[in-house]
Amino acid sequence: MRNTLAIAWREVRTYFTSPLAYVVISVFLVLSGYIFWASLVRFSELCLRFGSNPYFSSQLNVNDMVVRPLFGTMGIIFLLMIPAVTMRLLADEKRTGTAELLFTCPVTSGQVVLGKYLGASFLLLAMLAVTLSYPALIMNSGASPDAKATLIGYLGVLLMGLAFLSIGLLISATTDNQVVAAVGTFGALLMLWVIDWMSESATVTLASVLNTLSAGLWEKVGWGLGGPTLGELLSKISIIEHSQGFRKGLFDTQHLVFYVSVIFTALFVTQRILESRRWR
């Protein structure tokens, strides 16, 4: 535990002694702040124009029109910024030779992975914590957002960011070049983001895909060709799909389980990659 925290703390220090943390946090704040402000201005304009109309004013909801778009925006900014946060983590250790220090200290590779992950998570938390001020700003105005729905939205964004970090860490472990790590992470995250675009058109069932792959063996065994389609599977692994509910303020454990599984799997594979040094 002490090792993990020492590694995490060193990581946090490095983020904040280099310009990286400040650049990432300020760019994130400027972008999300601007979008929050823009939707707030638009919302108040709509309120002014239609507030007197009882039908329209029932449609005007600060959660739907201001807070929810904010979470969507944060997701997109994460997609662009997380690769910059994670690219250094393991790639740089290998390039500069400090990996040799870590792996000749009485530290397990699991502790290294967890320490790195916690360090990066701290940066993510710091970024998100500052944005809590946006909804707090309008808390006491007439357009007070629903606190519970807002917090659930935050939980969703946080989980998505944490999942992104774990994937970034995994890719950082596979290379000793930071640019390769960043580009690879961005590609992987974007792929997971858009993977459900096929969900409507991929109507072929999984069973028949497996049947083709096994040269008809699947059908002969009598497992049948029905069941879920490929598109359904793709929409289930889309990382954005699982955040929709959170944004609406709905808490569903299946989405929580999805993110936690992604994080756990990615960290586990990262640990195995570090250990694979021993097989060579």
Among 1-9, 77-85, 167-175, 203-211, the segment contacting other proteins (CB under 8 A):
1-9
DSSP state of 54: H
Nearer to other proteins, 57 or 96 (CB): 96
To the nearest 10°, report the CA torsion of 261, 265, 266, 271.
Answer: 140
Among 26-34, 99-107, 192-200, 259-267, the segment contacting other proteins (CB under 8 A):
99-107
Contact 238, 196 (CB under 8 A): yes
Tell whether residue 106 is a contact of other proteins (CB under 8 A).
Answer: yes
- Two tokens at 11? 């990581």
Q: Which of 70, 84, 87, 102 binds other proteins (CB under 8 A)?
A: 102
Tell whether residue 95 is a contact of other proteins (CB under 8 A).
Answer: no
Nearer to other proteins, 18 or 144 (CB): 18
Dump the DSSP string for 186-241: HHHHHHHHHGGGGTTT--SBHHHHHHHHTTTHHHHHT--S-S-BHHHHHHHH-TTG
Nearer to other proteins, 5 or 80 (CB): 5
Q: How far is the CB of 93 from other proteins (least distance, A)?
A: 9
Among 78-86, 98-106, 126-134, 235-243, the segment contacting other proteins (CB under 8 A):
98-106
Q: Which amino acid is at 271?
A: Q
Nearer to other proteins, 222 or 280 (CB): 280
Contact 239, 163 (CB under 8 A): yes
Read off φ and ψ for residue 181, nearest 5 degrees: -60, -45
Tell whether residue 45 is a contact of other proteins (CB under 8 A).
Answer: no
Q: Which of 41, 105, 139, 237 binds other proteins (CB under 8 A)?
A: 105
Tell whether residue 277 is a contact of other proteins (CB under 8 A).
Answer: yes
Q: Which of 108, 174, 208, 244 binds other proteins (CB under 8 A)?
A: 108
Tell whether residue 275 is a contact of other proteins (CB under 8 A).
Answer: no
**Interacting positions 3-42 with other proteins (CB under 8 A):** 3, 6-7, 9-10, 13-14, 17-18
Distance CA 270, CA 185 (A): 13
To the nearest 10°, report the CA torsion of 72, 78, 81, 85.
Answer: 160
Nearer to other proteins, 5 or 29 (CB): 5
Distance CA 121, CA 264 (A): 14
Q: How far is the CB of 181 from other proteins (least distance, A)?
A: 17
Nearer to other proteins, 3 or 26 (CB): 3
Dump the DSSP string for 122-170: HHHHHHHHHHTHHHHHTTTSSSPPPHHHHHHHHHHHHHHHHHHHHHHHH
Tell whether residue 103 is a contact of other proteins (CB under 8 A).
Answer: yes
Distance CA 131, CA 23 (A): 15
Residue ranges in contact with other proteins by CB under 8 A:
2-3, 6-7, 9-10, 13-14, 17-18, 96-108, 277-278, 280
